[in-house]
């Protein structure tokens, strides 16, 4: 079992959910709005909006240090679903020159289904 954690642009959430469903990945957890930044630069249209005092652009930019609104997905899958999960996230989010997100794949020691007490791979299926 692995945990796939993805940080994606908040506006790509619906496309990501659809791509994961198309890859038969049906379970996931999504954290609310989180803020972060990578090495990439801000989109020119957001910076232009800030320069023109547009409230929407200012809201996207936030306070110093300038962080982007993003979403964190956590998906625990059995090993055979790791690559389809990663591919689905990449397909739904790739395309912008900067700031498409990051994907982390980590080992998962155990999973326990609270309702039934089932553990391990069967709890993920």
In order along its 125 residues, the chain shows pLDDT tens digits of: 999 999 998 889 999 999 999 999 999 999 888 877 766 555 556 666 666 776 666 566 555 556 778 899 999 999 999 999 999 999 999 986 567 789 999 999 999 999 999 999 999 98
82/122 Cα distance (integer angstroms)? 16
In this predicted structure, what is the pLDDT of residue 85?
Answer: 98
Instruction: Tell me which DSSP letter residue 60 carries.
Output: H
Q: Which residues pair with 27 in a beta bridge?
A: none
82, 4 in Cβ contact below 8 A? yes
pTM (2 decimals)?
0.76
Given CA atoms 110, 113, 114, 116 in this order, what sign does their dihedral have?
A: negative
């Amino acid at each position: 079992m692995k945990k796939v954690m993805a940080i994606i642009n908040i506006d790509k959430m619906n496309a990501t959910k659809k791509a994961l469903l198309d890859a038969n990945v049906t379970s996931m957890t999504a954290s609310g709005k989180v803020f972060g930044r990578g090495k990439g630069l801000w989109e020119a249209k957001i910076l232009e909006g800030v320069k023109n005092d547009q409230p929407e652009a200012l809201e996207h930019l936030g306070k110093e240090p300038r962080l982007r609104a993003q979403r964190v997905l956590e998906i625990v899958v059995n090993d055979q679903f790791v690559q389809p999960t990663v591919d689905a996230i990449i397909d739904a989010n790739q395309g912008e020159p900067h700031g498409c997100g990051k994907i982390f794949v980590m080992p998962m020691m155990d999973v326990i289904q609270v309702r039934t007490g089932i553990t391990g791979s069967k709890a993920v299926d």
